[in-house]
Structure 1
Amino acid sequence: MEYSDILFEKENGIAIITINRPKVLNSFRRQTVEELIMAFEAAGQDPNIGVILLTGTGDRAFCVGGDVKEWGPSGYDGSSWIDIGLPVVRLQELIRSVPKPVIAVVNGYAIGGGHVLQVVCDLAISSENAIFGQAGPKVGSFDAGYGTAYLARLVGERKAREIWMLCRQYTAEEALQMGLINKIVESSALMDEARKWANEILRLSPSALKMIKASFNADTDHIHGLTKLAFGALNFFYATPESNEGHQAFIEKRSPDFSEFRDRGENL
C-alpha cells in the first residue's frame, strides 16, 4: 500500500504511523484520515505487531487538527448529516478499539483535532517543547465526544472545562502535571524513549493487554454514542453564521466577533 500523507513502518514488532504533512504542521485532510485508518487497521490485523506508535514528521508539530484548506461553505468538503467530511470519528474509535497498545509520540504542537488524537491513545510521551490545547470555540468548532467527555476522565472535569472554555495552550510540563501525558523527554531522545516503552510492552502477554485495553474502554464506551451525536451536530453547526465567523477570523488572522450570537440559540 502506498501512502501520500502518512508514513507507515514496521520494525521488530512495532508499527510506527507518522502524519507526514510538516508544511502544514501535520494537519489532516480527508486523505490523511483515510490513510491513518488503513494503517491502523493493517497494524491491528498484523500478528507480528504488538505496539503502535503515532507521531508526526519533524519537531514542530504532532498534529494541529483539520486542514483549513479543506473547508467549504458548510464545513469540510464531502460532509454528510452524520459527519463533517473527515472520517475522524472512525479514526478515534479505531485507535481505541485496535487490540494493541497505542502510544502517542508528541513532538510539538498537539492542538484541536490533533490534541484529541493523542487523548484517545492509550499512552502519551512528549518532547519538552510540546504544546497542548483545544481551539474549537475560537474558530467556530467543537468536539463534544471523546475530546471533551474522555478528556475529563484523564485530567478531571474542572480542568477539562478550562481547556475547552478558555482555549489556552499548555506546556509539556503542565500537561504532565495534569495527567494528560505520561512522560517528557528531550526532543532528540523522543523516538528512542517511545521504542523503549514499546519494547517493554512487547515482553508482556498480548492477550492480557488486549483484554486490559477492552476493560478500560468498556468503562467509557458510552462516549461512543455521544461522539456520533456530537459530530452530526457539528456538521450542522458548520453551516451557521456563527461558525463561519470563527473560521473567517482564523483565515484573516483577526479576533473573531461572536457578540451578535451571544443571546441567540436559534442558529443551532
Structure 2
Amino acid sequence: MDDFYAAVDSIVGLPIDELQSIIRDIPKPVIARINGFAIGGGNVFATLCDLSIMSDTAKLGQVGPKVGSVDAGWGTAFLARHVGDKKAREIWYLNLQYTAQEALEMGLVNKVVPHDELDAAVDEWTQIIGERSPTALALAKRSFNADSDNIRGISMLALNSVKLYYDTDESKEGMKAFNERRTPDFHAYVK
C-alpha cells in the first residue's frame, strides 16, 4: 500500500489524507466518475465523494486484508454509513468485487449508466449543480459533513497506525504475495 500512497502523492502532489480532506472540505459537491475498477483506495475515494455516477461495466471493492492493509476511518466507518454496518464488514472482510448494479442497490453509488454515457451523465449533473446557489450548496455540504466529521479524527489516527503497520512482516507478506500473484500466508500472524 505504500506504493498506492506514493502514487497518489505523485499524481496529485498531496498526501492521501490531505486529498481526502479536500474532497470533504471543498464547498462544492464532488462527483465520483467511476469507470473501470475502483478497488481499495479508489473505492475509498468514491465513498468520500458527495455523489457517484458509475459505468455499468465498472466494479467496486476492497482488497485491504487480502494484501495486508486497511483504511480504518473513511474506508470503514464512513463506508458503513453508506451501505450499513453488515455490508461494510462484508466488503472489508471478504474482499469481493461488486458490479455497478450491486453498488447501486447497496447505496454506494447514486446512478449507473451505460459505459458510453458516463461522461454525459457527469456533465449533466455538473451543469445542474452549476445552476444552484453556491452558498446553499456549501451550507448543505457542511451540514451533511457535520454528522460524520468525527470520522476525520479516527481516520488520521488510523492512517498513522497503518503507516506503522506497513513496516511489519505481516503487511509485507501481503504486498509481496500480491506482487508475486499468490495467496499470502498469514498463518504465522494469527493472534
TM interval, shorter chain, is over 0.9
> Max radius of gyration: which structure?
1
Pick one of 130, 133, 142 that aligns with 2:70. Answer: 142
Runs of 5+ consecutive residues of structure 2 not aligned to the other structure: none
Match of residue 177 from structure 2: 249
Asked whether the equivalents of residues 37 and 94 of structure 1 are also in contact (C-alpha less than 8 Å), the reply is no
Asked whether the equivalents of residues 62 and 96 of structure 2 are also in contact (C-alpha less than 8 Å), the reply is yes
Q: How far does residue 36 in structure 1 lie from its aligned partner after superposition?
A: 3.0
Question: C-alpha root-mean-square deviation of aligned residues, in Å?
Answer: 1.5
Aligned pairs for 1:159-238 (under 5 A) are: 159-238=87-166
CA distance in 2, matches of 1:32, 1:160: 24
Q: Which amino acid aligns with 2:12?
A: L
Aligned pairs for 1:1-268 (under 5 A) are: 30=6, 32-33=8-9, 35-36=11-12, 87-263=15-191
Q: How far does residue 34 in structure 1 lie from its aligned partner after superposition?
A: 5.5
Identify the structure with the greater helix proportion.
2
Q: How far does residue 157 in structure 1 lie from its aligned partner after superposition?
A: 0.6
Asked whether the equivalents of residues 8 and 16 of structure 2 are also in contact (C-alpha less than 8 Å), the reply is no
Asked whether the equivalents of residues 37 and 91 of structure 1 are also in contact (C-alpha less than 8 Å), the reply is no
Q: Which amino acid aligns with 2:181?
A: K
Q: Which amino acid aligns with 1:243?
A: S
Q: How far does residue 135 in structure 1 lie from its aligned partner after superposition?
A: 0.3
Q: How far does residue 131 in structure 1 lie from its aligned partner after superposition?
A: 0.4
Asked whether the equivalents of residues 60 and 98 of structure 2 are also in contact (C-alpha less than 8 Å), the reply is yes
Residues 93 and 155 (structure 1), Cα distance of their counterparts in 2 relative to 1, 3 Å cut: same
Sequence identity of aligned pairs in percent?
51
Q: Which amino acid aligns with 1:248?
A: K
- The secondary structure found in structure 2 opposite 1:161 is helix
What is the aligned length? 189
* Structure-1-length-normalised TM-score: 0.68
Q: How far does residue 32 in structure 1 lie from its aligned partner after superposition?
A: 4.1
Asked whether the equivalents of residues 44 and 74 of structure 2 are also in contact (C-alpha less than 8 Å), the reply is yes
Q: How far does residue 114 in structure 1 lie from its aligned partner after superposition?
A: 1.0
